[in-house]
Structure 1
């Protein structure tokens, strides 16, 4: 009986994975990893430069690093998000893709939020318009890197995401191998 209940618990945990139903494609994995790595590297560099300048943690005075306004809070937050993107780069696969898309959406929402807070007392991240534009650009790039090869109306039939959405259409791989054998 104890073995049976342990087995059920293991199966329940296994079903709770978010990306379990998504296919893994190694060619697309490179795109997800490169996107996460590039954005993560820039955010870490930006954050480190901000921390080195010893700017106040909630200072909204206007210290500039790499052309963007920053303070201690934004610098530390940038380092944390950059490191999270590095984790996505190392793990790769669907995790990196989903992480890129999620953080891309959060960057876009952050841009809109801070756009509304630009001239207010609630601008505790010391955002200026160039930070808002940067947030929009990074958000869009992360979303493109995360969605690459996963969405679109013209995905090729050998794309794993197309195959997972059309499971009853048959596997195009054997037909391609047959054609390649006929050409030889």
Structure 2
């Protein structure tokens, strides 16, 4: 049994946080696309948008991921939960990969260290929102609550 909170009372707050973060990613992508339009797809120019360095490929992928995040936040439920967890992995792996490629010619998304840090922070935000916005039937939430209270420890119950 996974011990992820089911039907957490602050689920709407977590969906809002994910949605606002996704909105920032979408706005960054649109602004970056406008700023880098006409440049080569994987250019290594010194283009900064909303405090992050970008190129056309990174900006366009930000539009896609920002849109997916917003759709997941609007739909909510299991789809939003899985979207947040998946996007969290994408942001964190991308951040780590680009940090490894930062000072090389293979930095194809034109990341800077600030972009890496923001990518990792956004990955953690989506991980947290994905873990706390799980939706399930009332009995699953009750089972999880009983587990958290220690009902799964038979030795302690026998001593009582």
- Shorter chain as normaliser: what TM range? 0.7 to 0.9
Partners of 1:26 and 1:93 within 8 A in 2: no
2:117 matched to which residue of 1?
Answer: 133
TM-score (norm 2): 0.76
TM-score (norm 1): 0.67
Aligned length: 140
Task: Provide the rounded CA distance (Å) in 1 between the counterparts of 2:5 and 2:49.
Answer: 41
| Long gaps (5+) in structure 2 | 152-160
Task: Describe how 1:159-170 pairs up with structure 2 within 5 A.
Answer: 160-161=140-141, 163=143
Q: Taking structure 1 as reference, are residues 162 and 126 closer, same or farther at Cα in structure 2, changes over 3 Å only?
A: farther
Displacement of 1:102 in angstroms is 1.6
2:80 matched to which residue of 1?
Answer: 96
2:26 matched to which residue of 1?
Answer: 44
Pick aligned residue for 2:55 from 64, 71, 77: 71
Aligned-residue Cα RMSD (Å) equals 2.7
Task: Describe how 1:9-158 pairs up with structure 2 within 5 A.
Answer: 25=7, 27-55=9-37, 56=39, 57-148=41-132
Task: Provide the rounded CA distance (Å) in 2 between the counterparts of 1:94 and 1:28.
Answer: 16
Of 103-112 and 130-139, more deviation after overlay is shown by 103-112
Q: Taking structure 1 as reference, are residues 59 and 149 closer, same or farther at Cα in structure 2, changes over 3 Å only?
A: closer
Q: Taking structure 1 as reference, are residues 65 and 23 closer, same or farther at Cα in structure 2, changes over 3 Å only?
A: closer
| Long gaps (5+) in structure 1 | 1-21, 151-157, 170-184
